[in-house]
Each structure stands twice: as C-alpha cells, then as structure tokens.
Structure 1
C-alpha cells in the first residue's frame, strides 16, 4: 500500500464488459462466493448497515484484489515452470485452481469496486446538488 504503484494498481480493470463477465462465469462465481462458506473468508468486505464507509470497503477490496493478483502471478509462474520441467498436464492441473482461487476473486473485486465507484459518484453528485439548492 505504501508503494508508488499502489494507486495505479487500485484502479485496475481487466474486464469491463458485463457481457464478457457473464461469458466467463463471473456471475456464477459471485453466486458461489455469496452463498457458500466462502462468504466467511473476508469479513471486512461486507455491507452491514446503510452508513457503511464505502471508501474503507473499497480499500479492503483493493488490498484483497492485489493480494489475489500477486498470488495468481506467482502460482502461474510455478505452473509454467512445472509445465516445462515435468508435464503440460501438471501445469494445467495447477492453473485451474489458481484461476478459480486467485484470478476470479480478483476479477470479482474489480467488478465490485466499479459498482462502489458508481455509488460513491452518485452520492457525491447528490451531496453537491443538495448544497447548491
């Protein structure tokens, strides 16, 4: 968080298309996270009441997203190494859980951050319009 790259990393958007998110199954993944034991993993990213601090939740999402991306990159490098040193099948076996446990959570955080950004912008517009009248 204290690096100069954090601000750039906090606004990553790999897949902006809603259609493409549906095609790759991100909405199904979201349902799984919301309705299974995965919902208990990161309790800091939770809307408990209406006056929840969206900035704080967005920061937690960014931290989670970057952590998952770092995990994805390291495991992907290991999978590539194993693909060449052992077998392509082993590399693929390593990559499938890596995609599900690191890449998809990161993409989900990006999607959720975009939704929060819209809400925050809407609230900011409402507040600025409120003070003008």
Structure 2
C-alpha cells in the first residue's frame, strides 16, 4: 500500500505541478492589476547566497540552462551589454510570482490529499512541486538580486 501511495503521489504531484503552470499564469495576470504586485517584486525568501548554494540552486541553474527548460521562457535572456536589465527583471518577477502561485496551489492540493488519502501521498506530491515550482521561484529571486547589483553599478557610473 505504501509503495502504491509513493508512486501515485509522485505521479499525481508531477501532473498537478505541470497543470499548475496554467493556474499560475492566470493568477499572475489577475494579481498584476493590483497594488500588491510591486511589493511582490521584492520578495526574498533566502537572502544568503550560502543557503542557496546549500540547497542546490546552482545545480538547478545548470539544469535550467542546459536542458529543454531553457526554451520555456525566452523573454528572460541576457544577450549582451545592450540588454535592458529592467525589462529582464520585470520578466523574472512575472515568472517568480507565477511559480509562487503554482507552488501554493499544489501545496494546498497536497494538503487536501494528506487529509483524504495519506500522508505519504501528499508528501510525494510535494517533491515535483518543490522542483518544478519552488526552485524556479528561488532561482528567479537570486537572479533578480544579481540584476539589482548590476543596475546599482550602472547608476553609480
């Protein structure tokens, strides 16, 4: 029974995480029209670079840059020195908030499954959710911090 919940929970979590991308886009477009969106632009869950490194954000960045994931959001691409960093930062904020909405959506679904199916099922749902929704949020936050530093350097010149 536990093996069944492990496999079904993981596959259901993977499906929910991919489906949640549509929920995130819709939720983000609705949230974009509110006054709270500017505050969301400066979210920073993990401020220390060492913590990001410890949880594997560098490996996740490599995975995004070197697999098919690099084709998913072409608006976030630094081409050279003439790239508009403010535009890139805005696109990163859009992606970050979408992934955060997606993470919350799947987390609520996993919580519901914990109550109705089993703890193992719900926890297994969270594995793909963390990889496909939380890690992209954390990666965007780190990248935005790097862009903010470059923008500060440009202002001081």
Q: TM-score range by the shorter chain?
A: over 0.9
Unaligned runs of 5+ in 2: 1-31
Listed as ranges, the matches of 1:32-47 within 5 Å are: 32-47=63-78
- Larger RCO of the pair (alpha carbons < 8 Å, separation 6+): 2
Where does residue 134 of structure 2 map in the other structure?
A: 103
The correspondence for 1:21, drawn from 35, 52, 71, is 52
Where does residue 146 of structure 2 map in the other structure?
A: 115
3-state DSSP of counterpart to 1:44: coil
User: Post-superposition shift, 1:93?
Assistant: 1.4
**Segments of 4+ in structure 1 off by > 3 A?**
none
Cα deviation 1:52-107 (Å, max 9, x = unaligned): 10010000000000000000001000001101110111101110000000000000
The correspondence for 2:115, drawn from 81, 84, 96, is 84
> How many residues are aligned here?
126
Unaligned runs of 5+ in 1: 127-133
Q: Confirm or deny that 1:66 pairs with 2:97.
A: yes
CA RMSD of aligned residues (A): 0.7
TM-score, length-normalised on structure 1? 0.93
Question: In structure 2, how many angstroms separate the alpha carbons of the residues matched to 1:113 and 1:41?
Answer: 18
TM-score, length-normalised on structure 2? 0.79
